[in-house]
Structure 1
Amino acid sequence: MRVLTIVGPMLLLSVVSAGCSQYVKRDEFDSTVSGLRSTDAELSSQLADMQGHFTEMTQQLHGKFSEYDASITRMQGRLRVEMSANFEFGDATLSERDKPALDEFSAVIREHHPGVLVTVEGFTDPAGDPAYNKWLGMERAKAVKSYLIEPGGLNPDKVRAVSYGEDSERLIKPGAWGESGAANRRVALVIDYSP
């Protein structure tokens, strides 16, 4: 019984003090809520700036590419520019007819959006071996990447090349090759913007 009279109050005291540790002082709570509201407002402002930046970039690119066979698609945090840079069958040489569009693209990025990351995606038609097509798509992407860097003037650290080869989900004309598959032998430029 004596143990119960000693342990009882100690147990009660520990339960009460544990319960008190769950409470937050009003000024600490208000301060935390104020900090969260400030952070939320700052993030909302950054998001609005980024959306404005994307809208501006989209308008600039639409204006520059109106005379070229290019389409611009806005994705989450990215712009996809399907270029008219097409390649001959089995070749990765950039043609003279495609260079003016790439010059326009480089000028917009270099002058107005130098912080973006540009991914050059290379594609092929489905003729030939898949491994060869993956390699050929990369050679096409590297040819355009090199052109965007020199003479285009883009930062080499902000341009990368990838190949999708003959990926059936990315073909413009599935199954088409040779003369009818010219649209599949292309590059696409993807612009990633992070503030």
Structure 2
Amino acid sequence: MGCASYVKRDEYDATIAELRANDARHDQRLDQIQATLEKRFADYDARFAQFEGRLHVETTAHFAYGKAEVREADKPMLADFAKTLAAHHEGVLVTVEGFTDPAGSASYNKRLGQRRADAVRDFLVSQGLDADQVRTVSYGEADNRQIRPGAWGDDGLANRRVALVIDFVEAVAAR
């Protein structure tokens, strides 16, 4: 037989207050990071959006058809991103999301998206981010994540990209 355990109301209230304070601190840190990156990235075509306690950065880092090499034109923005986070924002976790256009099989595109995410991760680490702070995922050709649905070849450049999602290590551990 198990026994029930009860929490006193004041302990419950204190725990809830602490969780709300943590959420407020995370939101404030995200606001600070977003402001810093928006200022630094004024010269780049990057878009920012906050959702569910994370900062989503849609970058201009795109890839040639069927390729996973980071383009020279995209390196300055990615270098600024890595150096800004490394210098000013400890405790962040960056997820590099890799995407493809719909040309090719779903399994090929999943692998290609992963190679793209890995290439950007490697570049970010070479620019100062700690390898333990950067993880990767591939969404391949996922329909619900395409910028230009169905576009491929020369028209599909917008779909062949990475997105960077900023989270906090302690927030991920709590999930």
> TM-score, normalized by length of structure 2?
0.88
The alpha carbon displacement at 1:158 in A equals 1.3
Equivalent-residue separation in structure 1 for 2:104 and 2:10 (angstroms) = 62
- 2:78 equivalent among 72, 88, 102: 102
- Quick check: 1:88 aligned with 2:64? yes
Number of paired residues? Answer: 165
Residue aligning to 1:173? 148
- 1:184 equivalent among 159, 165, 168: 159
User: Conserved in 2, the CA contact under 8 Å of 1:114 and 1:154?
Assistant: no
Q: Please give the per-residue CA displacement for 1:70-109, whole angstroms capped at 9, x wherever unaligned.
A: 1111011111111100011111111111011111111221
Residue aligning to 1:56? 32
Equivalent-residue separation in structure 2 for 1:169 and 1:41 (angstroms) = 37
Structure 1: state its 5+ residue gaps: 1-30
Equivalent-residue separation in structure 1 for 2:137 and 2:13 (angstroms) = 41
Task: Give the percent of matched residue pairs that are identical in Structure 1 and Structure 2.
Answer: 48
Equivalent-residue separation in structure 2 for 1:168 and 1:81 (angstroms) = 19
- Quick check: 1:141 aligned with 2:141? no
Equivalent-residue separation in structure 2 for 1:190 and 1:36 (angstroms) = 32
My pick for the range that moved more, 158-167 or 33-42, is 33-42
What secondary structure, in the 3-state scheme, does the structure 2 residue paired with 1:58 have? helix
My pick for the range that moved more, 125-134 or 41-50, is 41-50
Aligned alpha-carbon RMSD (Å): 1.7
Residue aligning to 1:122? 98
Equivalent-residue separation in structure 2 for 1:84 and 1:97 (angstroms) = 9
What secondary structure, in the 3-state scheme, does the structure 1 residue paired with 2:128 have? coil
Q: Which amino acid aligns with 1:112?
A: H
Whichever structure has more helix as a proportion of its residues is: 1
Equivalent-residue separation in structure 2 for 1:175 and 1:80 (angstroms) = 23
Structure 1 or 2, whichever has the larger Rg, is 1
